[in-house]
């Protein structure tokens, strides 16, 4: 069976209610599909109107459903009339065999039949009829998906021309507080979260929602060697200092065992100073290889700028004291020293394989977001063109 590209559009309301992680987790573990793209979108009035108009007649066999979805989009996606500030939605792309049917099955119908959490809409959506009038009192579909290849293609082709200007890092959304004290910080979910289908990525996002911050940008990507070397460049000096802290004592212990008499660590300090750069370079190469799947010393020059074989997810959070709040929830770099309940304690393995990276300052957040180019994602748009335009 040929691969397909399906979409999931998370609505503004579940994003505001910090349900994003739970929704993503459902699709990751209940399908064998690969999450290949993720973008925050602040849809314009033009895009909202075009989308709602399409939904009014997209399924002639179910006019009530069409009306419900079209009216919902007009009401909850349209930018604020007074200020023009948009609402945040998140557009996800999933790729794999029979992707469209699998996504639709996990999503569920807008008219829940079990109300027991069996589908995304059972858990995060609602359709409530007035028992007296039979009219709809409340409707929240949680996500928008396409039931057929035609509908998926129609919607993605519709959204494609708007992505360059309306997707990326969406600042000034209606529900995101502004002000001079507001910070942006970067979280990067590392490759250990993506090597097999699991709840990890979604659960980590759920834990990060305890910060009360808003997601204003997401990007699914594969880091290149060149990006990783620039991103982690400041770590090199730190690795040298780490080596000097333990190297002399460990070398003295090893020599004592080898020669059978006590060896003092002090005379070994000069030797360890000379060895520190070699240790730092080896560890740095291991970090780059973990993040990209490629060891820099084994890379051809032309391979350095190519996307690596490992996967990551960048998330930009915005709000008051964002840097500190996120790092507190993440926990210490070494999972064994992180507090119980922190992300790294629960999901990390060691100092390198520790689930997620978070910026340690506003300045570093800007630097890291620039390196990863979170605001832009040509690959996302190229995937849509590959399946539904070219």
What span, in angstroms and rounded, lies between the C-alpha atoms of 365 and 22?
Answer: 26
Distance CA(105)–CA(386), nearest Å, equals 24
Q: Is 162 a catalytic residue?
A: no
- Are the C-beta atoms of 41 and 165 separated by less than 8 Å? no
Cα separation, 63 vs 74, whole angstroms: 16
Pairing of strands 3-10, 88-97: antiparallel
Of 87, 162, 357, 379, the catalytic one is 357
Max distance between CA atoms of the chain, in angstroms, equals 92
Within the chain, strands assigned E span 3-10, 34-42, 88-97, 126-129, 136-140, 143-145, 167-168, 182-189, 214-221, 312-320, 356-358
Residue with tokens 């996500």: 143
Contact 43, 89 (CB under 8 A): yes
Token look-up 């060895």 returns 275
CB 21 within 8 A of CB 29: no
Judge contact between 8 and 143, C-beta under 8 A: yes
DSSP 250-310: HHHHHHHHHHSS---SGGGHHHHHHHHHHHHHHHHHHHHHHHHSS-GGG--GGGTTS--SS
> Among 29, 2, 158, which residue's Cα sits nearest to residue 91?
158
Spatial neighbors of 203 by CB under 8 A, at least 6 apart, are 21, 25, 347
Do 80 and 174 contact (CB within 8 A), yes or no?
A: yes
What's the CA gap between 258 and 176, in Å, rounded? Answer: 62
Just list the catalytic residues. 357
């Amino acid at each position: 069976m040929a691969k397909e590209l399906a979409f999931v559009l998370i609505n503004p309301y579940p994003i505001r209610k910090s349900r994003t992680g739970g929704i993503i987790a459902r699709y990751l573990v209940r399908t064998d599909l690969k999450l290949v793209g993720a973008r925050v979108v602040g849809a314009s009035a033009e895009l909202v109107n075009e989308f709602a108009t399409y939904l009014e007649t997209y399924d002639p066999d179910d006019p009530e459903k069409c009306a419900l979805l079209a009216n919902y989009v007009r009401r909850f996606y349209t930018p604020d009339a007074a200020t023009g500030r948009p609402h945040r939605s998140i557009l996800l792309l999933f790729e794999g065999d029979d992707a469209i049917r699998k996504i639709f099955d996990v999503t569920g119908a807008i008219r829940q039949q079990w109300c027991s959490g069996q589908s995304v809409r059972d858990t995060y959506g609602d359709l409530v009829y007035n028992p007296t009038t039979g009219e709809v009192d409340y409707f929240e579909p949680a996500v928008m998906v396409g039931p057929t290849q035609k509908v998926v293609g129609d919607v993605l082709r519709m959204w494609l021309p708007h992505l360059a200007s309306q997707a990326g890092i969406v600042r000034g959304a209606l529900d995101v507080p502004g002000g001079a004290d507001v910070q942006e910080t970067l979280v990067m979910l590392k490759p250990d979260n993506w090597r097999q289908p699991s709840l990890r990525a979604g659960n980590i996002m759920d834990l990060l929602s305890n910060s009360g911050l808003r997601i204003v940008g997401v990007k699914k990507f594969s880091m290149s060697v060149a990006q990783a070397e620039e991103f982690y460049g400041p770590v090199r000096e730190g690795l040298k200092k780490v080596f000097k802290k333990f190297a002399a004592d460990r070398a003295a212990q090893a020599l004592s065992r080898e020669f059978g008499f006590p060896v003092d660590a002090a005379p070994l300090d000069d030797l360890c100073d000379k060895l520190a750069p070699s240790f730092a370079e080896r560890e740095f190469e291991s970090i780059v290889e973990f993040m990209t799947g490629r060891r820099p010393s084994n890379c051809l020059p032309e391979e350095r700028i190519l996307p690596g074989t490992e996967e990551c997810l960048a998330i930009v959070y915005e709000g008051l004291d964002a840097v500190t709040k996120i790092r507190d929830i993440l926990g210490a770099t070494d999972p064994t020293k992180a507090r119980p309940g922190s992300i790294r304690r629960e999901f990390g393995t060691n100092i390198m394989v520790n689930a997620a990276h978070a910026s340690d300052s506003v300045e570093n957040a800007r630097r890291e977001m620039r390196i990863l180019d979170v605001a832009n994602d040509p690959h996302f748009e190229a995937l849509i063109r590959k399946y539904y335009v070219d």
